[in-house]
Structure 1
Amino acid sequence: MKITRIINNNVVCAVNDRRQEMMLLGSGIGFQKKKGDDVDTVKIEKEFFLKSKNVSGKLYALLAQIPMEYIRVSDSIIQYAKQSLNKELNENIYLTLTDHINFAVARYKQGMNFNNALLSEIKAFYSNEFRVAMKARDMINEEFNITLPEDEAGFIALHIVNAELGSEMEETMKITQFIHKVLNIIRYQFNIHFNESSLHYSRLVTHLKFFAYRLFNNTVVKSGDSDFLHIIKEKYSQEYQCSLRIAQLIRVDYGKELTEDELVYLTVHIKRVIDEEKD
């Protein structure tokens, strides 16, 4: 492998025999090296092959400013998240999570702790991602000998959700707030307390998460069988009225209109979770 770029003493870019560019980490791997030199393969600790030139370019710029420990712990967290959640993650997380860890550690050392206003919602709506994020927080604490608060696990969970959806942090926070609003409408209309560990509650939240993603990206499901909507309106009239209230919220707050199919799916999910709460 030949070096194509020196990021710092511990990070270089190189091309392999198949002309693929990759990023290599290792203590001293770039020390006294220059473009065109052979890579000292003995010093390679981590190899990264990022498909996106935009992501890799920004990551190179970040790693030129911070120690390699940050990308190393970030990669460990990402691999753990992929394995635990059994999901692929958008590679942009290498940039966003590494940058966040760097910022979080710096803030901690300066005595600046940020409260996560969405922590309770994150725990409820993204319980699996939050569980992974708590492990990630422990990994960061151990690596840098610090004690980050639970709020930081909430921020990390959002980065994981971003990578699952392929969205930006601002959009993920918008989705989280949207789910909170919708669940409040259901909660107050039926005067119930959700069992957050139940299967149908989990399915409802998952539906709302991906529904909101489609909504904010203008890819809502198109209307299909209007006869089915008529059956749902008759059979689940209270739940359908609740869906109409949610549609009104979406119209007023987001300027979007729900299709008939979206109303049907939403009504069915509401019906399931309400029936479960009654049992």
Structure 2
Amino acid sequence: MKIVKILNNNVVVVQQGSQDEQIIMGRGIAFQKRCGDSIDHSKIEKVFARQNNPLFDHFIELIKQIPLNVLLTCDRIVAYAREQLGPLQESLFISLADHCFGALERKRKGQELHNRLLWETQHLYPKEYQVAVTALQIIERRLGVLLKEDEAGFITLHFVTAQLQGDMREITQVTRLMQEILNLVKYHLSIDYDDKSFSYHRFVTHLKFFAQRCLNHTDVSSDEGELTETIQKQYPVAWAAAELVGKHLFQHYQHQIQPEELLFLSLHIEKLRKEAQRIQ
């Protein structure tokens, strides 16, 4: 591997033959080095490959500003998140490093942000939120900085973004729409959710992808036309709640919900309704 660019004393861009460029991180890896020199493999602590990643060039500029200990801390957080949440987009490392560096700088300047979606984030993405809480603990342990709970909410949305196909702005919109739908169903049926129940978590998981489809104005394809009529007759209360959601989406998001989506929504809502009846 030959150095093609030195970003700072701890980070270089390398290339081997015709392979894609890579960012190599390691303490002092560029010390007394020049472009064209080989790197010391024993000093490598993190490798980030281009692999047609559209954020690669942005990351090269970003990485010049971020200390190595922050980058390696974010790498540890991403590794932990993958252990707990499963596959996550490669771009998570870049977005998380950018966010955490900004959060640390705001903390240093006394300019911490208030997270207006913290409550929704805690309740809609409980597993991701717990991983984010651990991320704050990792930051405190490795960097000696205690960030506020609001930051756990922001980091949670980075994890959710890495699970879905979308950017942070879209995931924020998805979160708001999910909460709107949950409120509509809750008040229409006059029920309280048990946020620890399996049916609630299944519904929230469904809403995560459903809301994204609505915002992108994409539909599911299904051959469940006959079943749709059956569900409409069998679960009229749940179907009415699903139709209310459909009206809300049309009025506020200009999205026409399809019968197949009403079917799946109704099935989830019916499970929630029956569960609420058992509890009462």
TM-score between the two structures when normalised by the length of structure 1:
0.95
Do the aligned partners of residues 223 and 85 (structure 1) sit closer, same or farther apart at CA in structure 2, a change above 3 Å counting? Answer: closer
**Structure-1 residue corresponding to 2:93:** 94
1:123-166 deviation per Cα after TM superposition (whole angstroms, max 9, x unaligned): 11111100110010111122221211111001000001001103
Q: Return the alpha-carbon distance in structure 1 between the equivalents of residues 241 and 154 of structure 2.
A: 31
**Structure-2 residue corresponding to 1:233:** 232
Structure 1 residue 42 displacement after superposition = 2.2
**Structure-2 residue corresponding to 1:35:** 35
1:6 and 2:6 equivalent? yes
Q: Secondary structure at the match of 2:55?
A: helix
Structure 1 residue 227 displacement after superposition = 2.0
Q: Return the alpha-carbon distance in structure 2 between the equivalents of residues 278 and 5 of structure 1.
A: 65
Structure 1 residue 223 displacement after superposition = 5.4
Q: Secondary structure at the match of 1:195?
A: coil
**Structure-2 residue corresponding to 1:109:** 108
Q: Return the alpha-carbon distance in structure 1 between the equivalents of residues 42 and 213 of structure 2.
A: 47
**Structure-2 residue corresponding to 1:213:** 212
Q: Residue 123 of structure 1 aligns to which amino acid in structure 2?
A: Q
1:82-114 deviation per Cα after TM superposition (whole angstroms, max 9, x unaligned): 11112x211221221101000100111111221
Q: Return the alpha-carbon distance in structure 1 between the equivalents of residues 60 and 257 of structure 2.
A: 42
1:223–1:260 CA contact under 8 A, matched in 2: no
1:222–1:259 CA contact under 8 A, matched in 2: no
Q: Secondary structure at the match of 1:4?
A: strand
Q: Residue 9 of structure 2 aligns to which amino acid in structure 1?
A: N
**Structure-2 residue corresponding to 1:78:** 78
Q: Matches of residues 41-190 of structure 1 in structure 2 within 5 Å?
A: 41-86=41-86, 88-190=87-189
Q: Which runs of 5+ in 2 are unaligned?
A: none
Structure 1 residue 17 displacement after superposition = 6.2
1:50–1:91 CA contact under 8 A, matched in 2: no
Q: Return the alpha-carbon distance in structure 2 between the equivalents of residues 159 and 52 of structure 1.
A: 21
Q: Which runs of 5+ in 1 are unaligned?
A: none
Structural RMSD (CA)? 1.4
Dislocated runs of 4+, deviation >6 Å: none
Q: Return the alpha-carbon distance in structure 1 between the equivalents of residues 210 and 169 of structure 2.
A: 17
**Structure-2 residue corresponding to 1:195:** 194
My pick for the range that moved more, 44-53 or 22-31, is 44-53
2:129–2:152 CA contact under 8 A, matched in 1: yes
Q: Secondary structure at the match of 1:14?
A: strand
2:20–2:50 CA contact under 8 A, matched in 1: no
How many pairs are equivalent?
278
Structure 1 residue 206 displacement after superposition = 0.3
Q: Secondary structure at the match of 1:178?
A: helix
1:223–1:259 CA contact under 8 A, matched in 2: no
2:70–2:143 CA contact under 8 A, matched in 1: no
Q: Residue 146 of structure 2 aligns to which amino acid in structure 1?
A: T
Percent sequence identity is 35
1:158–1:172 CA contact under 8 A, matched in 2: yes
My pick for the range that moved more, 174-183 or 113-122, is 113-122
Structure 1 residue 264 displacement after superposition = 0.3
Q: Residue 266 of structure 1 aligns to which amino acid in structure 2?
A: L
Q: Residue 70 of structure 2 aligns to which amino acid in structure 1?
A: Y
TM-score between the two structures when normalised by the length of structure 2:
0.95
